[in-house]
Amino acid sequence: MSKTKTKRKRKTSKKMVRIDGRKIDEIRSTTIETGIIPNADGSAYIEMGDNKIIAAVYGPREMHPKRLSKPHMGVLRVRYHMAPFSVSPRRSPAPSRRDKEIGMIMVDSLSPALFLERYPRSVIDVYVEIIQADGGTRCAAVNAAAVALVDAGIPMKDLVAACAAGKMKGEIVLDLGDKEDKEGEADVPLAYMPKLDQVTLLQMDGILTTDETVKAIEMAIEGSKQVYEIQREALKKKYGMAEEESEEKVEEAEEEKATEEAPEDVLEEKEEEK
């Protein structure tokens, strides 16, 4: 490809307006709230665009049925489920093949962040309910589940943040919405552990050249990093001390040590407290 050609392409890409007016590398507006299911050990609610998803964590606890337990390590079990009214037209509440596969893929995306070897014969159950679906539910579900795991006080190596990239009208774009997902040429959902620099969920369907694939993966990693900040903010709101907080409040903190450290360390301390 000649230089002038690439230049022209870039120009059009900047001008390209997406269905909801976002830039090509902009994620949908995302909010996360923790602890919204009082009975659960940990929970989180995410709104990512029009996705509305609740994740609740129970455990580590004894595995039922016992035959599914492992003698040398714990098991992470994820149930991904869509409410019948989460899509139009209504869907059957019975778990579909798709739901089962996503549950399995979510286990793979979250378990690299856990210390499962610490919980022999036990299970950590993550239940995800899609209340409203708007494309990219598996990524939004991973985001909520990761925050819910932290909320449950389960030690983690890193947070897992997820975001999809895809191709729409010939352009690689970030975080496809429902319409873009259906009309677009490709979708690459991805989950990423920012501190460990590891991709833990990677799927793709559609048609992309190898260069486009790499570009989409890179873009999705950048998107995940943005989501990561939102996840951290949500957790800080409940557990951490904001960086700019006044000294007064700092003094109020139970542990003086914790306040001296960086905010992420505060988070970890709080996790262990739980």
Partner 1 sequence: MSNNIVSRLKRKKIQEVVAAGKRMDGRSLLEFREMTLKTNFLKKSEGSSELKLGKTHVIVGVTAKIGTPFEDTPDKGVLMCGAEYTPLAHVTWEPGPPPLGAIELARVVDRGLRSAEILDMKDYCLIEGKNVYIISVDLYVLNWDGNLIDACGAAAIAALRDAKIPTYKVTKGELKATGRSKKLKLRVEPIPITITKINEHFILDATADEEEVADGRLTITMDEKNNVTTMQKRGSIGFTLDEIKKCINIATEKAAEIRALTVASK
- What are the residues binding partner 1 (CB under 8 A)? 89, 97-98, 100-101, 104-105, 107-108, 111-112, 116, 186, 188, 192-193, 196-210, 213-214, 217-218, 221
Token pair recorded at residue 142: 């991973």
What DSSP string runs through 69-97?
--SSS-EEEEEEEE-GGGSSS---SSPPH
Task: Please check whether residue 77 is in contact with residue 107, taking contact to mean a CB–CB distance below 8 angstroms.
Answer: yes
What is the Cα–Cα distance from 233 to 243, expressed in whole angstroms? 11
Return the number of the residue (20 or 218) whose C-beta is nearest partner 1. Answer: 218
Please say which residue, 136 or 240, places its beta carbon nearer to partner 1. 136
Identify which of residues 130 and 186 has a Cβ nearer to partner 1 in the complex: 186
Q: Which residue is it, tokens 């939004």?
A: 140
Q: In this structure, are residues 52 and 131 in contact, taking their beta carbons and an 8 Å threshold?
A: yes
Asked whether the beta carbons of 201 and 190 are under 8 A apart, the reply is yes
Q: Which is nearer to partner 1, 107 or 131 (CB)?
A: 107
Minimum Å gap between C-beta 28 and partner 1 is 23
User: Encoding tokens for residue 7?
Assistant: 């230049």
User: Which amino acid makes up residue 19?
Assistant: I
Q: Of 126 and 204, which has the nearer Cβ to partner 1? A: 204
- The three-state secondary structure class of 161 is strand
CA 265 to centroid of chain Cα atoms: 21
Closest CA to 274 of 116, 142, 109, 156: 156
CB closer to partner 1, 40 vs 186 = 186
Closest approach, Cβ 199 to partner 1, in A, equals 5
Q: Distance between CA atoms of 68 and 61, rounded to whole angstroms?
A: 13
